[in-house]
Structure formats: structure tokens, C-alpha cells
Amino acid sequence: MKKAIGLVVAVLVIVCGVAPYGFGIRTEETLTTLVQLAEDVLDIPIYTTGYTRGWFRSTAETRLVLPPDIAAALRAYVPFMLTHAARTEGLTMVHSILHGPFPLGLRPGLTTSLLPVQTMLTSALVPGAPRVSRDGQPAEARPILQVYTTVFLRGTGQGHVFMPAFTFPPNAQPEADIVWDGLQGDVAVDAQGHHVTGAFQSPGLQLVGGDKKFALRHASMRADVSTERRHVSRSDTFVRVGSMTVMRRTHAPATWAVTGAELRASTATASGTLQAVADVQLETLRLADASYGSGTSRLELRRLHLPALRRLLQELRELQQDEPDLASVWLRLWLSGDLARLLSDLARSNPECLLTRLSLHTTDGEIRARVQVRVDGNRLLTPGYLSQLLQTIDAEAEGEAPASWVRAMAIAQVRRALRARSRLAAWLPDPALDVLVATITDQQLRRLVEQEYLVLDGNLYKSKARYTHGQLVVQGKPVDLPVLAP
């Protein structure tokens, strides 16, 4: 009996001692799979820069190469996050890996468990956010992002994402450029890496730059991404934001604000072609001095060729590195003929963009609009002229809005134009300017109604427009457009 017990114990010791090494070999393959999955989901280059395998644990390092525009945004607000290599900027993650089947070490949350697993990874973004101690002295940097991942024996995985709250600069006065209230979330992946679900929530974020302040409160997101086979994927995403505000640092009223915003989006991609539907709802909206109630919209994209879109954006990014002014970039593309070539590539898949519903409540009534834009790539000849490309576009638009709201918006536009272009307007007292602006606006609106470009139906202004084969028609009346030079 004692010999049998001793034999069992010896076998268990051998298994528990040898198994972790075998699991360590399998873990390296698993990390490679996770890196590939992240690269496909994020659509940026990710590669492993180092891997050291031990008997019971291993360490690894991966690098995420960021597009120049994202790197520029991080450089402006959180420069400590970026690392440099081979003339590229990116993010570096370090991984501490415990081998299965029974990892020797504490699990996420400082807990232990007897559940056998393939591996456990603790990943952290380095370098971390700079900190100061209570006495104002520099303190050890804290990782700005940590991910705790468990890969089970069958290959399925689950992870917990944690981003601690921080301010940057840590001791800035009177207020920091960034006040981040933290983020938590959970991610689950199936054994083949074809199905990923995630849920995240953050109490808030505040960014300060120049004379503007941006504040985000109570944000949450859920996502479900499926990849049926290579180059075929589907996703469903839900995002809710409690409030989002842009204001001046002087604590003046918000120049732009949204409360209770929700986004539901579904996408499907096959062979590089995107189909997407997005529904937006909001409780309140503020734009400058105008306040609105609830609103809804529905946007659909059909047959958008993503490789052609990426080529267009890539060329714009490369040109903008030499020419920061975006208008000059577009002019350069236009004159060179490259713009027509790039847009022709987009047009060949016959893309459509449909704003099938837009509704926004005002104190005067409801604003409604509908827009459809279709591109018929079958009309394309050899790329080279924008004027020929415009012949492929068919568009329709119609809308209605309360007459009092239209008048108020037009008055605001006329006032800004007069202030900017007329010296006389700058010298006029406000009451006199108000009378002048109202007179000009009423004359313009009355002229549009007389010319039948606008229809006054009770207390609503309505209009319809159509563009096809290079001809614009408003309320059934042709409108001459300027000739676009080749």
C-alpha cells in the first residue's frame, strides 16, 4: 500500500514538474495567436520583440506600431506612452507568463485557484504614467494599462482590462492637461479566435488644450466581433455616453454638449467590402447658443471598398507630412490627377451612403431630413478627370424645419458674415445691426420662396433636391453649377 501511494506521489511530482515546461512551449504558440488576433482586430502591425521561456514562467515583449496620426495625438497629450524603434512610434507591452496546468503564483486579483489552465498572462503597457508622492517628489511610474488574461485548457480565453486613474502632468496647476478617471473591462475569446466579445466602462475623461476643455462622463461600450473565415467578419457595437462637452476654460457656457448619447452599429466585411448600419440617439444637444431636445438618426454604408479607402487615407497622410495645410493637400492631389485616380478606385465598387432618418426636436418643432448618395462605378471611363467622376454620382436630399428656426439660423449666419466682411457692421450698434440683419435675412428667404427653391408649408420650410449625371435640380428647377476644370 505504501509503495502504491509512493508511486502515485512520484508520478504526480513528475507530471507537475514536467507539465509546466510542456505548457510553456504551448504558451509561446498561444501568445503568437493572441498577437495575430490583436493585429487583425486593431488593424495595425503588432509583433513580438522578445520571448524568454523558463520552466514555470516566461516573459515576453510585444510592440504595437501606431499610424502617424494616432501617434501624433498621443505625442501631444500623453508623450510618456510612446516608444521609438526603427523610425516608428508605438506602444510596448511587457508580459509576465505563468505556465499551466497549475500556475505557481497569485492569479489576477491576488487570488489562488485549483482550476487547471493552460497559461496566465499579466500584460502591462510601459513606460507607465509619471506620478508624484504626497510630499511632491517623483514616485515610481504606474502602468497606464494592465491586462490579465487566462487561457483555459480547451483554448478559450478571458481577460480583464484595467486602466488606473491618473492626471498628467501629475502636479500641474491650476489644472492638468489630462484627468483620466480610469477604465475597466472584460474580454472573452473562443478557442479558434474567431469570436470576441467585450464590455468596458469608464467614469470619465477631461482634456485641456489651448483655451478649450473637453469632458466625457459615464462612458460604456459592448462589442461582439465574429470572423467566420479569412476576410469575412461581422461586428455589433453599442456605445453609451452620459455626457460629452466642449467648453472654454473660462467656465463660459458649453459651446458643444450632448447628453444621453447612444450608438448602435452593425458591420459586415467580406473580401474588403464593408456594409454598415449605425443608429444614434441622444437626449439633448447644444450647439453654440442653440439648444435641442431628443434626436435620432440612421446611417447606412453599402459596398465601401476598404482597401481603396485605406490607399486614399494613406496618401493623404503622406502628403500632409510635407504640407500641413489640408486644403493645399487636396489642391495638390487635384492638380496632379491623383485625386481622380484614388476616388475612381473607391467608386468601382458602387458604394452608397444613406442617411435614411434624421430627426431633431427644437423648441419650435421638429427638424427632419433624408439623404441618399449612390455612385455608379459602371459609368467610369479611364480615371483622370474629376468632372467625369462626378457623372457617376446620383444623390437625393429632402428636409423640413420650422420656419422660425430656419430664420433664426439664417440671421446668425448673416450676422457673422457681416461682422467678418463689412467695416460698417463693425461700427453699427447692436440694435441697428439686428434690424439690418433681420431685413436682409427676410428678403433672402422670401426670394427663395418666390423662386420656388423653398416651400413654406404652414410654419415649415420644405425643400427637395436631386443630383444626377452632373445636373442639380432643386424643387424641380435646374440649378447651374460652376464648371469643374479637369
Helices 338-347 and 326-336, interaxial angle, to 10°? Answer: 90
Average pLDDT, the chain: 81
Residue 105 parent element (H or E): none
pLDDT of residue 50: 84
pLDDT of residue 11: 46
In the predicted model, what is the mean pLDDT of residues 285-306?
A: 91
Q: How far is CA 264 from CA 115, 237, 239, in A?
A: 37, 6, 7
pTM of the model: 0.82
pLDDT of residue 304: 93
Query: Which tens digits make up the pLDDT trace of 427-442?
Result: 778 788 888 889 999 9
**Please, what is the end-to-end C-alpha distance for the chain in angstroms?**
95
C-alpha 267/C-alpha 326 separation (Å) is: 29
Query: Which tens digits make up the pLDDT trace of 327-355?
Result: 676 677 666 667 777 788 888 899 999 99
Q: How far is CA 58 from CA 18, 119, 126, 152, 324, in A?
A: 15, 10, 18, 17, 45
Backbone φ and ψ of 48, nearest 5°: -85, 125
Nearest-Å Rg of the Cα atoms of the chain is: 29
pLDDT of residue 113: 59
Q: Is the pLDDT of residue 17 over 70?
A: no
Q: How far is CA 181 from CA 66, 186, 239, 385, in A?
A: 24, 18, 18, 51
pLDDT of residue 340: 76
Alpha helices in 192-260 (DSSP H): none
Q: Is the pLDDT of residue 14 over 90?
A: no
pLDDT of residue 136: 55
Query: Which tens digits make up the pLDDT trace of 256-286?
Result: 899 999 999 999 999 889 999 999 999 999 8
Query: Which tens digits make up the pLDDT trace of 60-117?
Result: 888 888 877 777 777 777 777 777 665 667 888 888 888 877 775 544 554 555 678 8
Q: How confident is the model at residue 20 (pLDDT cuts 50, 70, 90)?
A: low
Burial class (CB in 10 A: 0-12, 13-18, 19+), 138: exposed
C-alpha 189/C-alpha 303 separation (Å) is: 29
pLDDT of residue 249: 72
Which region holds residue 454: left if phi is over 0, alpha if psi is between -120 and 50, else beta?
beta
Backbone φ and ψ of 236, nearest 5°: -130, 130
Show the beta-strand stretches assigned E in 100-137: 119-126, 129-132
In the predicted model, what is the mean pLDDT of residues 445-467?
A: 93
Query: Which tens digits make up the pLDDT trace of 182-241?
Result: 999 999 988 887 899 999 999 999 988 777 888 999 999 999 999 876 677 899 999 999
Query: Which tens digits make up the pLDDT trace of 101-157?
Result: 777 554 455 455 567 888 888 888 877 666 555 555 555 667 788 899 888 888 888
Q: In terms of Cα–Cα distance, which of 334, 343, 353 is closest to 391?
A: 343
Cβ within 8 Å of residue 185, ≥6 positions away: 160, 161, 198, 199, 200, 201
C-alpha 471/C-alpha 479 separation (Å) is: 7
- The distance of Cα 260 from the centroid of its chain, to the nearest Å, equals 18
In the predicted model, what is the mean pLDDT of residues 389-408?
A: 92
Amino acid at 233: S
